[in-house]
Amino acid sequence: MKLLITGGAGFIGSAVIRHIINNTADNVVNLDKLTYAGNLESLAEVSDSERYAFEQVDICNRTAVDRVLAEHGPDAIMHLAAESHVDRSIDGPAAFIETNIVGTYTLLEAARQYWQSLDGQRRTNFRFHHISTDEVYGDLESSVDLFTETTPYAPSSPYSASKASSDHLARAWQRTYGLPVLVTNCSNNYGPYHFPEKLIPLVILNALEDKPLPVYGKGDQIRDWLYVEDHARALYKVVTEGKPGETYNIGGHNEKQNIEVVQAICDILQDLRPRQTSYRDLITHVKDRPGHDLRYAIDAGKIQRELDWSPEETFETGIRKTVVWYLNHQEWCNRLQDGSYQRERLGVGT
Ligand code: NAD
């Protein structure tokens, strides 16, 4: 099988590619524009494989997407390319509308034309897997409710609204044109190769430099944390075994308040790299994000029942692995923080 993966140089996309190259016989084509969030160094362990190819392409560029589809002839598309950072979407929503909505539309149209050109079994077996977030469901009001696949959409941020739009487009292409679309909505991911603007890597790296650990408001926002390699396994299950037209929610059964996450990281660091006073002393409460949803939590029962997937990591095992990974990959972090991962690929000296 040959999989075209958009956004494969990002946090989750690179985990999916590492999973596929390391654990299956499949071929992968990574289609990525390489925005600030794309880092080919996250693929170093698999990029020499004969089963891996890279195309630096913007999903909004229809001509380039058509060329990639014609040249590589994929059996499935896993669509992860997106602008993904909520705070950036508040400061500048335009790129989110362009990539997440117009880009997804462009990719769906290119995929439809390509799929219609396939014959027989290849056409029947083709899949378009649209990867999305639980943020499309908005805030959970009660402390016991869980998001299911039928929870109505109520996005709060420009990011989640743009992802909600792209989910609707993907489902419409299934209903209207019969394109074999699968949609997954997943909770917050964490783990290796996470860009250090997101909470968990930011806290680990700031703590190591004795910098303040910023926590929005009281830190009482609840997220359902999933280790990224568990997500990668789930996505591969869905694209290979999922039923077209279906949506699968993916979550880790790991609800934690943000403050609990930060405290857990502080305590693991204290154990692995002791500081004179507790790392918790660095916690600094900052003004809350506008429109900040309080609680997200996923009912992942459907994917468990129908595709026999469940997470292997608990929050406790996954967060320790993550902290250890950051301690052992300072070079990857330094090159992100000083911008050299971008300068070198642009051919600019460091
Ligand atoms: P990321 O920001 O780390 O990576 C996004 C990737 O997409 C980057 O490599 C970037 O270069 C690429 N990209 C951006 N615009 C592009 C364009 N126009 N054309 C081609 N490539 C482009 O994001 P992530 O955290 O890996 O998330 C991947 C997907 O999973 C997103 O669709 C996101 O909405 C979804 N998701 C993320 C989480 C999470 O916790 N990170 C949770 C659930 C769902």
Question: Using one digit for the tens of pLDDT, what is the confidence trace for 92-130?
Answer: 999 999 999 999 999 999 999 999 999 999 999 999 999
User: Does any domain span residue 237?
Assistant: yes
User: Does any domain span residue 311?
Assistant: yes
Catalytic residue, from 32, 83, 135, 293: name it.
135
Question: Ligand 1 site: residues with CB under 6 angstroms?
Answer: 6-7, 9-13, 32-35, 37-38, 58-60, 80-84, 99, 103, 131-133, 163, 186, 188-189, 195
Catalytic residue, from 105, 159, 279, 296: name it.
159
Residue 98 and residue 150 in contact, taking contact as beta carbons nearer than 8 Å? no
Q: Give the list of residues 6+ apart from residue 179 with CB closer than 8 angstroms, or none.
A: 108, 111, 112, 115, 128, 173
User: Does any domain span residue 324?
Assistant: no
User: Does any domain span residue 132?
Assistant: yes
Query: Nearest CA to 83 among 115, 59, 108?
Result: 59
- 255-257 and 222-224 beta bridge pairing: antiparallel
User: Does any domain span residue 15?
Assistant: yes
Predicted confidence band of residue 350 (pLDDT cuts 50, 70, 90): very low
Residue 16 and residue 80 in contact, taking contact as beta carbons nearer than 8 Å? yes
Residue type for position 345: R
**Is 32 an active-site residue?**
no
Q: What are 3-51's pLDDT values in tens digits?
A: 999 999 999 999 999 999 999 999 999 999 999 999 999 999 999 999 9
Domain count, the chain: 1
Task: Say what the pLDDT of residue 346 is.
Answer: 60
Q: Is the pLDDT of residue 75 over 50?
A: yes
Ligand 1 midpoint to CA 276 (Å):
38
Task: Say what the pLDDT of residue 348 is.
Answer: 52
pTM, two decimals, is: 0.96
**Is 135 an active-site residue?**
yes
User: Does any domain span residue 102?
Assistant: yes
- Percentage of the chain lying above the pLDDT 90 cut: 90
Predicted confidence band of residue 141 (pLDDT cuts 50, 70, 90): confident
Q: Which two tokens stand for residue 324?
A: 């250890």
Q: Give the list of residues 6+ apart from residue 215 with CB closer than 8 angstroms, or none.
A: 258, 259, 262, 283, 284, 285, 286
Task: Say what the pLDDT of residue 347 is.
Answer: 56
- Percentage of the chain lying above the pLDDT 70 cut: 98
Q: What is the CATH number of the domain that holds 99?
A: 3.40.50.720
Q: Around 303, how many Cα atoms within 13 Å sit in the side-chain half-sphere?
A: 31
Range of the domain at 42: 2-192+225-252+294-315
